[in-house]
Chain A
Amino acid sequence: MLVFLKEILDSGFRSVSLIGMGKNTGKTFTFNQLIMEARQLDIGVAMTTIGLDGEPSDSLFHHAKPKILLSPGQIVANARSLLLASGLDYEILQATGVTTPLGEVFLARALSAGETLLAGPGTRQELALVKDQLEGLGVDLFIVDGAVDRRSLAAPMVTDTTVLAAGAEASWDRRRLLEKLRHQLRILQLPAWQNQAQADLIQHEYGLSKDPDVKLVLLGEKGVQAVLTNQEFFHTETLPELIDLSTRAVFVRGMLTDSVLARVLAGAHQLSSINILVQDPTAVFLGPQSFHSLDAYQSALQVLDSIHISAVTVNPFSSRYGLADPLQLLRDVGCTVDPIPAFDLNLGMRYRPEEEDFNGIS
């Protein structure tokens, strides 16, 4: 029974992205595992990457970039030069109009089996465009491999669900690793704001493509109360005057950093609680301390576009220290991320909280 992919498909997800806590967290292993399970289950798969700069080796460790294994019938959205250099037999299906330093991204169906490097679109909008173009090509599952940088975090916004790869490489110190993981998941899993009408209003009036000079939007029961530009927010003290007891939420446009949050909370000190809204988790650049402040103010941080995490995979390998005890690592991570399922795909194990013993991990 191939559990990993099946869980994703059984939940009705048709696109999945992979993001990693850092280098060597086993993201590519997870990616290939999904592809092979899909082939075994005869699932039509399309795949691409986001945020890969296309250099033949990664700049941090100078390792050769991992290749992915393609089977006949599988579809890739890949940069032209990599497509042609792979030496595989392809049917060219469509030009996407999305360009990368390695050429335009084409949709192509593999006609032979083999390995290839992948480089897909660089931005969220482009990824969404590619995803749209895959419609009608008989794709059951679209898999997006995110590179390890901030940009790749855009992938979860485009896909139905996301798998987070965590590993000993991110921190050998277990306590720190788990703290990092907990913090990252807290951001990734920020809840969606439930006031749909106002969420639509903000998306429409102040969303991604709108006037970049707006920093803050104050919302009351009846809609927008006030709008602050960057200048007004950062260089004047008008915020405390504008926030009153009827203010229900504050939408922070662009990045929410520790200092932006501190300024918002200070401006809203007369309120017993406040909802702080951001576009999506990628806009959140908060340290753990800021979450303590939010808790202290009884304030909720919510997003307009939320991310779904369906699994965390662990990799005990560390390039500096070697292998960590894989079972202990899986147990620790599994406990931390529960109820999200945790897997060690290399060992074919899944952490089960209800059976907290060694045999229970299977």
Chain B
Amino acid sequence: MEFLDTETRRQLGFDQVWSQIRPASSLGRARTRQAGAFGKGQAAELEQELTRLERICADLKEDPKQADNLHFLLGTVRDIGLSIKRSRQGIILDDTEFYEIKKLLYTAEKIQWELERLQWTFLLPEPLEQCASCREALSIGQGGQESFYISDAYNKELAEIRQERVMLESALAKGRAAVDNKLIQTLGRLLSMEGKIAVSVGEREKIARLQEIPELEKVQETADIVTFQLIENETEARMKQKLGKVRETEEGLKEQIRRELSQKVAEHSSRLDKVLEQLASLDLTVAKGRFSAEIGGIKPKLCTEPAIQIEAGRHLLLEEEVRLAGRNYTPLSLRISPGVTLITGPNMGGKTASLRTIGLLIAMAQHGLLVPAQGLEFSPRDFIRAHLATAAIPKGLSAFAGEVSFLRDVMERSREDGLILVDEIAHGTNPVEGAAVAQAIIEYLIEERTITVITTHFPALPRVKGVYHLRVKGLDRDRLRRVQADSLQRCIDYRLEEADPSTVQGSDAAIVAEALGLDEAVIARARELLEPSMNPEERDSTDEQSVISTG
């Protein structure tokens, strides 16, 4: 079973948060897409990753711009995996591929220097692979430039044939250049690409001058235009022919060098693959570090005792929503352990938000990210599964059937160190039967290793033996009386507190309904119905369900 399934990632908002990690290179981005969580058995590796991020974060906090150059360099890294693969298959690479490989190796060297400058060499278990001999092979006779060309130094024969080619080219160009010079002096013009020059028939003086140039001959005369062309003498024709052959030989020699260089690349292919691997991993780690710094993340503490303790944890997406709405965000603090934790409280009281926050923080931490909280201590989980009110209903199933199929799957693994988050358990069916099913499930899960957090309105569930019960502090009634109904959310204290069975929570429902302007007679009747022998706890929950949900 994977650590997070697609539906849980979506419901927790993990994908959205993860997409905010932006490596600079395509390699790093691919790595981000493939990255999974650290498994329970990889606690040591996770601890190392978190420690690395904590160190980067501390540096970035001091000077957020100090890693900009590293980010820039990583951004110039290109995925040359295909060329490496081609070389391994015995294919002859082309000059652009040699350039890319050489450039990558130069970049890797600069990145290594940059890591040393930043004192961030701890980000890689070993220094970046330099493939010095491969780089040397791609740099022969090129004066230490990052560009690539097949220089004369690769092959003596090539140098000679090139010399011959250049001589022929210059000899041919010389004839043309001589004519061009004459033309510039007399007409201020040059021969065209085809070696032609045209003048208007009326320009007799110019025509006369052109006729005086022995290397030119008149090739065309129309009513308006006279055209001259550079005469190709026999020597030039022979030189051209020779030039064609010389170029062919040169190309053959260059191809031979490309073959040899491709073999060289193939010999180094595993080391080149390693550079790519190192760069991808480095890019992702740096991006995670930058992200962690941006969100003001702290390093989670891993513990062996199976528990999760959150101190002022924030769900990044919810926090942003609340901030945009101009309200204050209430962070989450709690400690939960194996068995079942129930969260109760009024609608809009943040119960679902609590589940999402717990799930997201653990998911982030186990993907090796620092977390937005004042403190997080947890034992790594085997899996996280969430079924929230926003869950997508599988095709062909009712909402209740969808939930049951979710519960069936997770209960099969309840002996593992999981984290199961269930929002409003069994609320999609008959309340009496739903409560019974929910109670049976809780009784089953209560003894298991997995940590389960459930929100509910069923009044009987908190009384199940062994359940740890948390509730939302709830409405500030005095404040509600003073402010407008549309400020209802400002009147809720979203903090969780351990529920004390001996205290009685008042009827928030009637107050809210009144604040929202429900007919006075209806409110009075509701209060009358609530009066009789009902247990305060039951009364509380029933009211929330029936009345506050309209708000």
Partner-B contacts on A (CB < 8 A): 1-3, 29, 32-33, 36-37, 40, 69, 80, 83-84, 87, 89-95, 104, 106, 109, 111-113, 316, 323, 325-327, 346-349, 358
Contact = CB atoms under 8 A, between A and B. Distances in A.
Interface in B86-119: 94-96, 98-100, 103
B199 A348 contact: yes
Given A112-B165, A346-B198, A347-B199, 17 more contacts: A2-B184, A37-B190, A69-B193, A84-B95, A89-B149, A89-B150, A92-B98, A94-B147, A106-B99, A111-B149, A112-B169, A113-B173, A323-B222, A325-B224, A326-B224, A347-B200, A358-B202
A93 B200 contact: no
Contacts of A323: 222, 224-225
A2 B190 contact: yes
A356 to B, nearest CB: 15
Contact of A95 (B103, B149, B169): B103
14 contacts: A2-B184, A2-B190, A92-B95, A92-B98, A92-B148, A95-B103, A106-B96, A112-B165, A113-B173, A323-B222, A327-B224, A346-B198, A348-B188, A349-B200
B247 to A, nearest CB: 7
A83 B96 CA distance: 9
A90 B254 CA distance: 12
Contact of B200 (A3, A80, A92, A326): A326
B193 A32 contact: yes
Given A32-B193, A95-B103, A348-B199, A40 B149 contact: no
B535 interface: no
A348 B222 contact: no
Contacts of A113: 169, 173
A279 B457 CA distance: 59
B180 interface: yes
B189 interface: yes
A29 B192 contact: yes
B318 interface: no
Contact of A2 (B147, B189, B224): B189
A92 B149 contact: yes
A87 B251 contact: yes
Interface string B159-198: 0000001000100010000001000100111101100011
Helix, strand, loop or mixed for chain B's interface?
mixed
A348 B180 contact: no
A3 B188 CA distance: 8
The size bracket of the interface on B is 20 to 34
A229 B227 CA distance: 59
B193 A36 contact: yes
Contacts of B149: 89-92, 111
Contacts of B188: 1-3, 348
Contacts of B100: 95
B200 A95 contact: no
Contact of A36 (B78, B165, B190, B199): B190
A326 B78 CA distance: 53
B95 A327 contact: no
Given A92-B148, A106-B96, A326-B225, A346 B192 contact: yes
B189 A348 contact: yes
Nearest to B177: A40
A88 B103 CA distance: 22
A89 B147 CA distance: 13
Nearest to A68: B193
Nearest to B183: A348
Nearest to B198: A346
B96 A92 contact: yes
Contact of A347 (B78, B103, B147, B198): B198
Contacts of B165: 112
Contacts of B250: 89
B171 to A, nearest CB: 12
A293 B65 CA distance: 55
Interface in B242-268: 247, 250-251
Contacts of B148: 91-92
Interface string B198-220: 11101000000000000000000
A37 B197 CA distance: 14
Contacts of A349: 200
Interface string B298-324: 000000000000000000000000000
Nearest to A137: B147
B266 to A, nearest CB: 20
Contacts of A40: 180, 184, 190
A348 B99 CA distance: 42
A349 B96 CA distance: 42
Nearest to A40: B190
The interface centre, meaning the residue of A84, A89, A104 with most chain B CB atoms within 10 A of its CB, is A89
A2 B181 CA distance: 11
Nearest to A91: B149
